[in-house]
Amino acid sequence: RGLRVKVSEAYRFRVALPAYPASLTDVSLALSELRPNDSGIYRCEVQHGIDDSSDAVEVKVKGVVFLYREGSARYAFSFTGAQEACARIGARIATPEQLYAAYLGGYEQCDAGWLSDQTVRYPIQTPREACYGDMDGFPGVRNYGVVDPDDLYDVYCYAEDLNGELFLGAPADKLTLEEARAYCRERGAEIATTGQLYAAWDGGLDRCSPGWLADGSVRYPIVTPSQRCGGGLPGVKTLFLFPNQTGFPNKHSRFNVYCFRDSAQPSAMPEASDPASDPASDGLEAIVTVTETLEELQLPQEAVESESRGAIYSIPIVEDGGGGSSTPEDPTEAPRTLLEFEPPSIVPPLGSSEEEGKALEEEEKYTDEEEEDEEEE
């Protein structure tokens, strides 16, 4: 009002009116230090005497940070190995600024992982035993400081660009890993990487159907969670072989597959581009297309003191999404399926009760098969 500008606490020090008050008719808004939860509809209303005008613009903060580990073991990457692992899955190792932005957007993960500056950190929203790190009972990004590059940890990767189509292939008999690769090739595509699936999820892909990925993992993206599909939290869900959240499914197990076709590659066969249309003719349940260039989150460098190291534990997240107790990792109690928390998308597609049932059956069937194999051994 007049020359006074009122800013709410959530945007304090992050918003500005660059042209105001030098130009009283220009109230363009500049928003810095972007966070995932800055996505939304921004509405501008201007009043001058009895006249008023308004306009709205949709803002989508793009880019997603996620923890990555290969199926062999937890904490298996050296610093060089961590960089290579992110590159293999179509992503890159995250920067401290990107992890901090994800934390401010609500991201939490009680697993220590490499970042691009050779530090090891992890974000905690709700402090609890075994996840205190160097910050005792305070929320924040735990930081072990610069670590010996030969030490072993998980890694935080960052995915952003998805210039092409990521689609779900769902043949009636499901597919082994090799059959899944062939299925995608027959359609002029390649089996999708983990980074591509995270980028598609960040863009709104919601499919309650586990599918193969290029690294041999089986995952599925959930934007709108339910108790039968994804528990109480959104994110990219992963099927693990062992209760301690390691081990990818046997390559001869049968699942659907997520394929990716580069935007420069022509389609080898007809596909339904409308998710609401009947996909029975080609076995594709959903297609998400992203062709625009996505821009990277960039935050000013935070001054962070070098902090002491401590023991690291994995805190399993229970499937019902409730606020259960947080205890150090216990392989006998951890869930078979990791339910990770990730920043939700702003335009979630509608879920399908039929898909929810299928995903639940997939997980139960997979668990039963593994138990039978153990009994036979």
Residues 176 and 38 in one domain: no
> What three-state secondary structure class fits 199?
helix
Residues 273 and 300 in one domain: no
Q: At CA 238, angle to CA 161 and CA 208, rounded to 5?
A: 80
Query: Would you call the peptide bond into 21 cis, given omega within 30 degrees of 0 as the criterion?
Result: yes
Residue whose entry in the numeric block shows the structure tokens 């992963």: 238
Comparing C-alpha atoms, which of 135, 199, 216, 140 is closest to residue 164? 199
What pLDDT does residue 342 have? 38
Residues 262 and 304 in one domain: no
Residue 134 within a domain:
yes
- Per the DSSP assignment, residues forming a β-bridge with 212 are 218, 257
What pLDDT does residue 315 have? 33
Residues 257 and 231 in one domain: yes
- The domain tally of the chain equals 3
Residue 233 within a domain:
yes
Residues 36 and 68 in one domain: no
Residues 348 and 210 in one domain: yes
CATH number of the domain at 125, please: 3.10.100.10
Residue 2 within a domain:
no
Q: Which helix (H) or strand (E) holds 182?
A: helix 177-186
Q: Are 272 and 280 in contact (CB under 8 A)?
A: no
Distance CA 55, CA 302 (A): 35
Distance CA 311, CA 132 (A): 10
Comparing C-alpha atoms, which of 266, 269, 302, 273 is closest to residue 288? 273
Residue 329 within a domain:
no
- DSSP-assigned letter for residue 38: G
Walking along the chain (377 residues) 10 residues at a time, the average pLDDT comes out as 77 85 81 80 82 83 91 93 97 96 93 97 92 86 96 96 92 97 97 97 94 97 89 91 90 98 62 35 34 36 36 34 33 34 35 49 57 55
Tokens of 227: 């108790």
**CA atoms within 13 Å, Cβ hemisphere of 254:** 8
Residue 1 within a domain:
no
Q: How many CB atoms lie within 10 A of CB 101?
A: 25
Tokens of 41: 């509809």
Comparing C-alpha atoms, which of 93, 145, 98 is closest to residue 119? 145
Residues 46 and 89 in one domain: no
Distance CA 25, CA 65 (A): 39
| pTM over cut 0.85 | no
Residues 140 and 183 in one domain: no
Residues 263 and 178 in one domain: yes
Residues 43 and 138 in one domain: no
Residues 249 and 105 in one domain: no
Residues 219 and 244 in one domain: yes
Contacts of 192 (CB under 8 A, 6+ apart): 166, 184, 200, 213, 214, 258, 259, 260
Residue 330 within a domain:
no
Containing structural domain, residue 31: 9-59
Residue 180 within a domain:
yes
